[in-house]
Chain A
Amino acid sequence: MSIVDDLVENLIERNAIRLNGAFTVTLIDGGVAVKGQVLSTLRDQRKNKDVLNVNAPIDAEMAVGEIVIPLPEIR
């Protein structure tokens, strides 16, 4: 295993991401809207220390087209 592999492995496996926050999912005309805020904290588990805080506001809209449901046949 290379030094890079060891480095990546240590960096990834020793860290954990903790998520906090709240968001709401609402139906809007023609789709779905998500609004809120998520606070991510990257924590070094070996040192028990927070390394990085990310405060991410969410304001997204997803378009959903018309869904056609054919009626089932009765036999």
Chain B
Amino acid sequence: MSDVNTFIDTIGKDISATVSPKIESLAERLTSATFTQYGPRVSAFASQLARDVIEEQSATIRDFVTTVIQDIFQRYRPELAGELHTRIVQGALEVTGRNVRIDVKRRDTGDAVSSLDIPVSLTIKMDPVGVTLKNATVRLDVV
């Protein structure tokens, strides 16, 4: 006569041998069905949902962005300030900026809100220019 532990162990082994394969088979069938049948439907649903959201909300977003841009430009005025200094150096043209900046000011009060300094330093190389005169004729007429 077996004890309780042996009894339970024997039943457990039997269940493992007979029921577990069935559960595994069921899980495989469910997985397969999910991938083949439900997966595409979920994907199609998600795509349609995203399309509907975009279609229905695009006008709202467009109006919002337009209003925000209009508000910003009505409220602020950008100003470009500074000077470009150009000088000729050996074989090149040198352009440097002095106090070049973009000031953002309030349209109503003219107060500066923010200022962005823009460093400008350019060197434009220029090769020598050759000029050839070929029988250029100068005629003179008495007026």
Main secondary structure of the interface of B (DSSP, over half): strand
- How close is B88's CB to chain A, nearest CB, in angstroms? 5
- Whether A72 touches B80, Cβ cut-off 8 Å, given contacts A22-B130, A27-B126, is yes
- Whether A73 touches B88, Cβ cut-off 8 Å, given contacts A13-B142, A16-B139, A17-B138, is no
How many inter-chain contacts with C-beta < 8 Å in the A-B complex?
A: 100
Measured CA separation A29–B86 after assembly (Å): 12
| B85 partner, pick from A27, A38, A68, beta carbons under 8 A | A68
Q: Interface range on chain A: under 10, 10 to 19, 20 to 34, or 35 or more?
A: 35 or more
Q: Which residues of B contact A (CB under 8 A)?
A: 78-93, 100, 126, 128-142
Q: Which residues of A contact B (CB under 8 A)?
A: 8-9, 12-13, 15-32, 36, 38, 64-74
